[in-house]
Structure 1
Amino acid sequence: MRDLLLIFGAALAGALAVGGLGAAALRLLSGRTIMAHIWVLIAVTVGSVTAGVVVIAQAMFLSPHDLQVVLITVAAGAVVSVAVSWLFGRRLAAAAMWAAQARERERRLEKGRRDLVAWVSHDLRTPLAGLRAMAEALEDKVVHDPATVADYHRRIRVETDRMTQLVDDLFELSRINAGALRLSPSTVPLGDVVSDAVAATTPIADTRRIRLVTAESRWPAVLASEPELTRVVANLLLNAVRYTPEDGTVWVSGGNDRDGAWLAVADTCGGIPEADLPRVFDVAFRGERARTPRPVDGPVGGLGLAIVRGLVEAHGGRVDVHNIPNGCRFVVHLPAPGSR
């Protein structure tokens, strides 16, 4: 029994020495990656066992040959243990990184949901208050002259249309996020879609003296669902008009490249801060106060670009944005017919 206690004590001493070094290393590595901590834990575990065996082997007065055999056996076991531990450590680190990314993604989504509720509440509360005031004025006959009554009716219709558009945007975004969007792709002439969207946006642009310029180019055909593609182009044009100051210009161009077809909408909005570029497609993101959209008719709520990204990605494409001199440029990449 006494020999067993001595063996245990000697092995424990060797393991504690290695463990103490490992604890010091972990303290020095605080703030490093999880893989660095896993490497230290692997080294401490394997080193403790190895140190205990070596200490006991030395204390047992083995012959040089037997001691060499023991050390070689321990070294081989240590190599295998390190290799297996490294493999599982990498998997554990990857799982931990994935979990951290998932938590960060969930945090961003939750913040996006809160921002969306705040923006939608604001965008609904203001027109609803105006509608109620005008309705009460008409009901109480506070206004009598036909011109004012007609103006109230027109403003009620405009605000109702705007809120209807907001509800439609929310429904579209919910379909995209829920994966319930069903596309019917076909070969669509991109030039026809752009022409229709420009014609629909021109009256809004004219009220603010903004020029819509369509490039004279050979427009490609794309593989897309025409209603959703029309909405993509319309939202990009309306976003450009919304942020471009009066007497500005919005350019629309398109073409083919090795990845398929592309469509670009450029404006003279003054540019987007570099820190905001990755976030412009987030739900309810409107950027800094200097880029607050001008009051034009059309969708509200900061959902237009989020819908653009969702619809483009549903088509298997992508949308990017970058700054150009005195403005910014949105580029949509879509698959060409026969690319699938």
Structure 2
Amino acid sequence: MNTFLLVSFIIALLALGWFAWRYFRLRHGMEAFARTIRRTTQEGSPAASLPEDEAGLEELSNAVRALAESLELRSLEVDAERAKLAAVLDRMTDGVLIADSDGYVTFLNPAAERLFDAPGAIGRTVAEIVRQHQLVEAWRRSCETGEAQEESVELPAMRQFLQLVILPDQQTGSSLLLAQDLTRVRRLEKVRRDFISNVSHELRTPLASLKALTETLRDGALDDPKAAPRFLGRIETEVDALTQMTQELLDLTRIESGQVQLDLKSAAPGKLLASAADRMRAQAERTGLILTVESAMDLPEVHADAARLEQVLVNLVHNALKFTAPGGKVILSAGAKSGFVRFAVRDTGVGIPEDELERVFERFYKADRARSSGGTGLGLSIARHIVEAHGGRIWVESVEGRGSTFYFTIPVF
């Protein structure tokens, strides 16, 4: 009996010792594994550096490593999405601002910095960055009501139209502000309105004349052998004017849309000037004007569509003849300059007011004094598009009452 008890005691003691040894070994392994995880976290090492199949902790170490790899993968995906979002925000033409519940800006993209001229504005208030009371009030209304607000303002000093959309976050009290520069849209809208207005004006005058002429003929003038031809001639003139305007509109539309293919070849500037002058000489003589050509004979040839370039010169000469009084002069010239040939059409006419110089190349644009001078108002616009299609530039210099000079450049061949 005593022997049995002794053996049982020894076995129990050995079991206890084994369990104690296993406990301390397991604890030591757990502590070492924990130190490894902490070190990996602090050093930012990849999940692959975590131990795998750790002795005695195989299931736990493999599960931890699998979890770390999963978190690492998700972190990479989040970073990739964040990079995409940052790239989109950086390249947006609309400004984006995020303000916290206290009104301090926590984020703004480069477009917002440009629109509000506020580089490095993070940490400043919305009011400091926006600096426009209507926009600031819209933001405050949005914060107070918790509703989206939209406000548009014109900034005359900067010649700018801005629209601000405010989207509040009712949970955090922060707000998202989207700023859009509508300047180009407003300008295009103005061009559209002006185009419709000018087309209406240009059509109304000849159509009214045609209606009056046809009514006169119908009321008896058709039977008058002297009056009938005169009225029919005037009808033909008005129809020709409408036909010319329609053709020039079609030409302008094709040029603007790139449908006109230029036949670019080597062309002599002197021949282009002489040809345009010959075409317009009879008209100049009828109006009592002197039309001359002043050009050096050794000019380099230009890379151009000769027919289109001659059309530009004819349009410019026609414009000069229209606004120069009898006895005046119109002079065509050309000169070489920095890889280009600069053509010029100078007149001694009435000149152009300084505030109208930037608009003379717009479609249908006419100074008030030109409303009764004939023409469609499309010639200069066509000339501008043809010159720009050649890679050149066109501009005008003028002093009111002393005449104007239209210049344009064409690359040399």
Q: Shared topology, TM-score over 0.5?
A: yes
Is 2:353 the counterpart of 1:277?
A: no
Aligned equivalent of 1:177, options 253, 256, 263 = 256
Aligned to 1:329: 405
Aligned to 2:188: 109
More strand by share: 2
User: Can you give the 5+ residue segments of structure 2 that lack an aligned partner in the other structure?
Assistant: 1-99, 106-113, 126-177
How many pairs are equivalent? 253
The answer on whether the counterparts of 1:245 and 1:269 sit within 8 Å (CA) in structure 2 is: yes
Supply the distance in 2 between the matched residues of 1:35 and 1:294 (Cα, whole angstroms). 46
SS in 1 for 2:120: helix
Deviation of 1:152 after TM superposition, in Å, equals 2.0
Deviation of 1:122 after TM superposition, in Å, equals 1.4
Q: Evaluate the alpha carbon distance shift between residue 211 and residue 105 of structure 1 in structure 2; reply closer, same or farther with a 3 A threshold.
A: farther
Aligned to 1:40: 121
Correspondence list, 1:89-100, <5 A: 100=181
Deviation of 1:264 after TM superposition, in Å, equals 0.1
More helix by share: 1
Supply the distance in 1 between the matched residues of 2:406 and 2:289 (Cα, whole angstroms). 18
Is 2:319 the counterpart of 1:243?
A: no
Aligned equivalent of 1:152, options 231, 236, 251 = 231
Deviation of 1:199 after TM superposition, in Å, equals 2.6
Supply the distance in 1 between the matched residues of 2:255 and 2:185 (Cα, whole angstroms). 17
Aligned to 2:307: 227
Supply the distance in 2 between the matched residues of 1:147 and 1:318 (Cα, whole angstroms). 51
Aligned to 1:51: none
Deviation of 1:222 after TM superposition, in Å, equals 1.7
Deviation of 1:319 after TM superposition, in Å, equals 0.5
- Summarize deviations over 1:100-157 as a string: whole Å, max 9, x none: 3xx3233222212221221121111111222233234334532444332222222222
Root mean square deviation, CA, Å: 3.0
Counterpart of 1:116, as a letter, is F
Is 2:219 the counterpart of 1:137?
A: no
- Summarize deviations over 1:20-58 as a string: whole Å, max 9, x none: 7969xxxxxxxx96232x5232468xxxxxxxxxxxxxx
> % of aligned pairs identical?
35
Aligned to 1:292: 370
Counterpart of 2:337, as a letter, is D
Supply the distance in 2 between the matched residues of 1:271 and 1:192 (Cα, whole angstroms). 28
Deviation of 1:249 after TM superposition, in Å, equals 1.5
SS in 1 for 2:277: helix
Supply the distance in 2 between the matched residues of 1:314 and 1:43 (Cα, whole angstroms). 47
Structure number with the bigger relative contact order (C-alpha 8 A, sep ≥ 6) is 1
Aligned equivalent of 1:313, options 364, 368, 388 = 388
Supply the distance in 2 between the matched residues of 1:142 and 1:282 (Cα, whole angstroms). 41
SS in 2 for 1:187: strand
SS in 1 for 2:221: coil
Counterpart of 2:390, as a letter, is H
The answer on whether the counterparts of 2:221 and 2:227 sit within 8 Å (CA) in structure 1 is: no
Supply the distance in 2 between the matched residues of 1:143 and 1:234 (Cα, whole angstroms). 38
Tell me which structure has the larger Cα radius of gyration. 2
Counterpart of 1:233, as a letter, is L
Supply the distance in 1 between the matched residues of 2:115 and 2:326 (Cα, whole angstroms). 51
Supply the distance in 2 between the matched residues of 1:283 and 1:162 (Cα, whole angstroms). 16
Supply the distance in 1 between the matched residues of 2:248 and 2:268 (Cα, whole angstroms). 25
Aligned to 1:123: 202
User: Can you give the 5+ residue segments of structure 1 that lack an aligned partner in the other structure?
Assistant: 1-17, 24-31, 45-94
